[in-house]
A and B are shown apart, each in its own frame.
Chain A
Amino acid sequence: GQNIDQPTEMTATEGAIVQINCTYQTSGFNGLFWYQQHAGEAPTFLSYNVLDGLEEKGRFSSFLSRSKGYSYLLLKELQMKDSASYLCAVSDSNYQLIWGAGTKLIIKP
């Protein structure tokens, strides 16, 4: 079967760094996405990885290891507005997105 695992909830301090992990087992792989979703809002795109390595975009970076079926999202210089759910999704062999359950990130002052 297809499976995406990520922690249910994480807590971090404003100004700190947090890493949200995602492991996956899917039938085929056409890339991995990270989305941010604030409470009551639609998900918004953060990053896309299809090759191994680190993609950096401002305060956010995303890493992929295809051989390990593993990705992480790294958030630096955390701000209160980063409090949200972070969704990991994998595009499978049919280019359909398989979604993880999401990680709720709580930022404390």
Chain B
Amino acid sequence: SAVISQKPSRDICQRGTSLTIQCQVDSQVTMMFWYRQQPGQSLTLIATANQGSEATYESGFVIDKFPISRPNLTFSTLTVSNMSPEDSSIYLCSVATADSYNEQFFGPGTRLTVL
């Protein structure tokens, strides 16, 4: 398994500003993912964070709005840019390791409220 921490755990932001969420893993992992979960909804994959190359974004999500960095095998950031109230959500980082049959382990999440 992997232990994942996220910062911040929650934040309240003003419209038009940006927030960067950090995800730290206690071991080197192959794959890191960023999800969004809106209240009462299931998980929506934003992108897969690739080490050493650009993130792979899912339909409906673009790099200008959600820039992602992954400088090494234990760390990634997701920035929510030019926020609007529609971006209010829980943002979750998850990881998968080669020896965990692609089971994903989740961080505690970042609860974002945009006013």
Residues of A within 8 A of B (CB): 30-31, 33, 40-45, 48, 50, 87, 91, 95-97, 99-102
State whether B42 touches A99 (Cβ < 8 A): yes
Given contact pairs A40-B111, A97-B104, A99-B42, enumerate 15 new A-B contacts (beta carbons under 8 Å). A30-B102, A41-B108, A42-B92, A42-B106, A42-B107, A45-B103, A45-B104, A45-B105, A87-B42, A91-B102, A95-B96, A96-B45, A97-B45, A99-B44, A100-B42
Residues of B within 8 A of A31 (CB): 101-102
Inter-chain CA distance A102–B107, complex, in Å, is: 19
Which residue of the partner chain A has the closest CB to B104?
A97
Residues of B within 8 A of A (CB): 41-45, 48, 92, 96, 101-109, 111
State whether B102 touches A102 (Cβ < 8 A): no
* Interface majority SS (helix, strand, loop, mixed), chain A: loop
Inter-chain CA distance A97–B95, complex, in Å, is: 12
Contacts A42-B92, A42-B108, A42-B109; A87 near B43 (Cβ below 8 A)? yes
Inter-chain CA distance A16–B111, complex, in Å, is: 34
What is the minimal beta-carbon distance from A102 to any residue of chain B, in angstroms? 5
Residues of B within 8 A of A95 (CB): 96, 102
Residues of B within 8 A of A41 (CB): 108-109
What is the minimal beta-carbon distance from B42 to any residue of chain A, in angstroms? 4
Inter-chain CA distance A30–B42, complex, in Å, is: 20
Residues of B within 8 A of A40 (CB): 111
What is the minimal beta-carbon distance from A104 to any residue of chain B, in angstroms? 8
Residues of A within 8 A of B43 (CB): 43, 87, 99
State whether B42 touches A101 (Cβ < 8 A): yes
Return 8 A-B CB contacts under 8 Å, by A number. Answer: A30-B102, A41-B109, A42-B106, A42-B107, A43-B92, A45-B104, A48-B101, A96-B45
What is the minimal beta-carbon distance from A81 to any residue of chain B, in angstroms? 18
Inter-chain CA distance A60–B47, complex, in Å, is: 31
Indicate the member of A42, A87, A102 with the most B CB atoms within 10 Å: A42
